[in-house]
Amino acid sequence: MAMSGVVRSSVRLRPTWSTWTSVTGNIPRNFNQNRAIPEGICGIRAIASHSSNNMIFRQLFDRESCTYTYLLADEASKDAVLIDPVIELAKRDAQLVEELGLKLKYVMNTHVHADHITGSGLLKKLVPGSQSLISVASKAMADVKVNPGEKVTFGCHELEVRSTPGHTNGCITYVCHEQRTAFTGDALLIRGCGRTDFQEGSSEKLYDSVHSEILSLPDDYILYPAHDYKGQTATTVREEKQYNPRLTKTKDEFVDIMANLGLAYPKKIDVSLPANLVCGLYNLPDDLAAELE
């Protein structure tokens, strides 16, 4: 029976095709990727692909804030999670959840966003039974607070919580080993990284955490950021280790680059921060507040 929840233990009990291949680092020569995985065993068919026949995966985009929201669901149980939803698009996300016949368990955030209000609060209203989720270190309010090392599970899938501070203190990355993917929030952006000039930002911490928790993953892991401003959608550990113009530098050079980005503050920072500390439920602009009534 598939279970959903937050696993506090780091012990993994059920071996899968994908964990086997990630441990051994190779695929059997005669491995048939289309062969059905035996019932009751959670695995992937398309090895090293970012999606598989038993996980539904959607990358959704907000044109205004250039935010990516991710919908992940277990095909068998229909249990689903949303990562980093945007309040203005909560109805879009809720409609997709309904159309796909999914049971939304968690509306999760990688961090307290500064540029938009999270859709967590509104989605909880639109999809009764769903719970908001964020890191303990974020100091934000949510139904479920997670710590590094814990697992968020939905159906037979799980996301490992990794601490990736530096953009904010409470930033976390969700790693899905069986799919060989990671959702990096604003810690790592494609050929970039999150800024470190507010929200307890620290360039030193960001450099260390991205290297130790994200770029230490296997080279073929696909990385999905919370934003992209140039039209890219995903990257890999290998690419970022080779081409990231900031993170391939020494730590001293990185700190210097980050101190001289010269970025304007996000336009919505003043409304976003207080609202996101309570999962998008406080002091909202009138049109958004009306949605919640």
Ligand X SMILES: N[C@@H](CCC(=O)N[C@@H](CSS)C(=O)NCC(=O)O)C(=O)O
- Residues in the site for ligand X, rule: CB under 6 A? 65, 113-115, 186, 192, 194-195, 227, 261, 263, 266-267
Instruction: Provide Rg for the chain, Cα atoms.
Output: 19
Residue 117 CB, shortest distance to Fe ion, in Å, is 12
Measured from the CB of residue 265, what is the shortest distance to ligand X in angstroms? 7
Nearer to Fe ion, 79 or 186 (CB): 186
Query: Closest Cα partner for 138 from 182, 99, 186?
Result: 186
- Please say which residue, 200 or 256, places its beta carbon nearer to Fe ion: 200
**Of 7 and 60, which CB lies nearer to ligand X in the complex structure?**
60
Nearer of residues 60 and 114 to ligand X, judged by Cβ: 114
**What does the per-residue mask of binding to Fe ion show for 181-210, with x meaning CB under 5 A?**
-----x------------------------
Distance of closest approach, residue 21 Cβ to ligand X, in angstroms: 34
Q: Of 17, 28, 92, 16, give the one whose Cα is nearest residue 60.
A: 92
Name which of 120, 90, 93, 121 is nearest 107 in CA terms. Answer: 120
- Are the beta carbons of 277 and 141 closer than 8 angstroms? yes
Q: Are 173 and 133 in contact (CB under 8 A)?
A: no
Q: Which stretch binds Fe ion (CB under 5 A): 57-65, 86-94, 154-162, 180-188?
A: 180-188
Task: Judge whether 100 and 56 are in contact, CB under 8 Å.
Answer: yes
Cβ–Cβ < 8 Å for 65, 73: no
Angle (nearest 5°) at CA 259 between 254 and 261:
95
Closest separation between CB of residue 260 and ligand X, Å? Answer: 12
Q: Residue 207 in contact with residue 167, Cβ under 8 Å?
A: no
Nearer to Fe ion, 44 or 223 (CB): 223
Q: Rounded to the nearest whole angstrom, what is the least distance from the CB of residue 109 to ligand X in the complex?
A: 12
Residue ranges binding Fe ion (CB under 5 A): 186
